[in-house]
Amino acid sequence: MKRLVHCIIGSTLGLLVSSDKPFIFPYLVVIGWIGGWIPDLDLRIKHRKSLHNIWIAVFSAVILYMITSYIYNYLVLTSYITKSSFLEKTVIVFLGAWILHILCDSLTIRGVYPFYPLSNYRLRIAKLRSNGLAANAIGLAIALVFFILWLRSTKLIVYIEYLERLIGLKT
């Protein structure tokens, strides 16, 4: 799957998670983008192994949690959101985007190694091409579902009805 599609999925997950606290949505959109982008930094070294596993994802989320906890103390957010809620949303979006990246890449021919280095088990759900239309369409469909759920949660019913008519779900 194209890196941009992974980033779009992560960003829309950030939108969805921030729907009850709209003032932090730019932050969570960026965190989602980063969570969807980082796993492909291993393109030159053991791609689909070194960063496409749950151990590195969880370790990175813990590091992000500590950094975000430190940063929160210097932001003036106390009247808008509690520290625990802010940290929770950050980790959910980051880890969610990373895991969605791994799951989406498991749809491709090469698959992923989700438990590497403890196991060389390869997870391959389908045999789609990474740069093919089908894999990227599935990724964009996931992002579209997140976006529509976000629209619903923000009570933007006018836009939802327009999108439903646009894609033919409603007449």
pLDDT at 168: 74
**CA-based torsion, 78, 12, 47, 114: positive or negative:** positive
pLDDT at 61: 95
pLDDT at 16: 93
User: What gap in Å lies between CA 142 and CA 31, rounded to an integer?
Assistant: 18
CB count, 10 Å around CB of 135?
Answer: 21
User: What gap in Å lies between CA 128 and CA 76, rounded to an integer?
Assistant: 46
pLDDT at 35: 96
3-state secondary structure of 108: strand
User: What gap in Å lies between CA 115 and CA 119, rounded to an integer?
Assistant: 5
pLDDT at 125: 87
Q: Return the closest-CA partner of residue 93 out of 37, 136, 49, 135.
A: 37
pLDDT at 84: 83
pLDDT at 101: 94
Can you state the percent helix, strand and coil of the chain, rounding each to 5?
Answer: 65, 0, 35
Q: Where are the domains of the chain?
A: 3-166
CB 110 within 8 A of CB 48: yes
Q: Return the closest-CA partner of residue 108 out of 98, 123, 96.
A: 123
User: What gap in Å lies between CA 171 and CA 167, rounded to an integer?
Assistant: 10
pTM of the predicted protein model: 0.84
pLDDT of the chain, 171 residues: tens digit per residue: 888 999 999 999 999 998 877 778 888 999 999 999 999 887 777 777 788 889 999 999 999 999 988 877 777 566 677 878 888 999 999 999 999 999 999 999 888 888 888 888 888 888 888 788 888 999 999 999 999 888 888 766 666 676 777 777 666
pLDDT at 81: 76
